[in-house]
Structure 1
């Protein structure tokens, strides 16, 4: 089932019909997620609605998006695919959500409906890598190289560049 942008879905009706919803979300539909990344593509979302064994509306599926993330080592923007699996129980009652939240992920709705973006945005945020370079080797990290060790420790250039060279000269010229 294809839905229109920003359309509120009657999740109870969809669960009764065991409907599948396929959507493409833009960054404007995921404002909190969009604030956390440098750039983004279109999020591909596929959801399946049904009732769980206890009779609560359940949605399962996945969301996938290409996102530009800032590398913590080189501060460059790197593109990564964020893919999350979803399994969320939809309820309109906070007490019920508290009870169910012990065993599963719960999304509290206003009771009338929910948008696809509301279902997937939190999971996309939680799917962002904590440290991009630790999870994936950063291809932009500069290599470590040191100059070869020579016989002379300080060159004229080193002495000129050293901000403490004036103090060193002062100490050497002073009579104690």
Structure 2
């Protein structure tokens, strides 16, 4: 197992053949597209990657990336701490056509050259795992009159389709 900084580029085929493992901490600031979604760039993400070959001889990258990041609360516009956790099960393919042949339980990673950049790969998985909108559990915002108003995280709204249920009952009588 490799501990320390995450390598910039690797040959995933060779890493899979060796059964390599990488455990590293990555600064959020190294992932610019992911940073665009956050309130600050101070966080660090713990990354665990396992390279292997399955029984069908498919080279794999399995792993997870976890950490605490700050996003902007969409109600009060203040930072809110969010736990991000991305788990991935990637099958390495040499081309788009080979990627189509992978079993559905593997997400394809197309590696046409010999090298693969790991940080962009982790960044993509984190972007997919982050919530679209972040909120504080109990968010207090100011009303236009300067009084705090507590916004519940879940509101009870009437079901707009309840009318259809009543119509269905009327048809069966």
**TM-score normalized by structure 2?**
0.72
> Which structure would you say has the larger Rg?
1
C-alpha distance in 1 between matches for 2:125 and 2:78: 25
Q: Which residue of 1 aligns with 2:137?
A: 137
Paired residues in the alignment total: 142
State the Cα distance separating 1:110 from its structure 2 match: 3.4
Hey, which of these two has a bigger chunk of helix by percent? 1
Superposed displacement of residue 33, structure 1: 0.7
Counterpart Cα distance in 2 of 1:138 and 1:113: 46
Distance 1:130 1:12 in 2: 34
Separation (CA, whole Å) in 1 of partners of 2:35 and 2:112: 24
- 1:18-167 to 2 correspondences below 5 Å: 18-40=19-41, 41-100=43-102, 102-133=104-135, 137-141=137-141, 142-144=148-150
**C-alpha offsets along residues 85-134 of structure 1, whole Å, 9 cap, x if unaligned?**
1111122211111332744211112331212213211110011112323x
Distance in 2 separating the partners of 1:101 and 1:94: 14
Query: In the alignment, is the contact (CA less than 8 A) between 2:6 and 2:22 conserved in 1?
Result: no
- Please tell me whether the aligned partners of residues 99 and 108 of structure 2 are also in contact (alpha carbons under 8 angstroms): yes
* CA 124–49 in structure 1, closer or farther in 2 if over 3 Å, else same: same
Residue 101 and residue 118 in structure 1: after superposition, are their counterparts in 2 closer, same or farther (change >3 A)?
farther
Cα deviation code 1:10-36 (max 9, x no counterpart): 111111111111122122321111111
Deviation readout 1:35-86 (Å, 9 max, x if unpaired): 1111241111011000123212101111012211111111111111211111
User: Which segments of 5 or more consecutive residues in structure 1 lack a partner in the other structure?
Assistant: 145-176
CA deviation profile, 1:142-161 (whole Å, cap 9, x unmatched):
435xxxxxxxxxxxxxxxxx
Q: Which runs of 5+ in 2 are unaligned?
A: 142-147, 151-173
Q: What is the Cα-based RMSD across aligned positions, in Å?
A: 2.1
Instruction: Normalising by structure 1, report the TM-score.
Output: 0.71
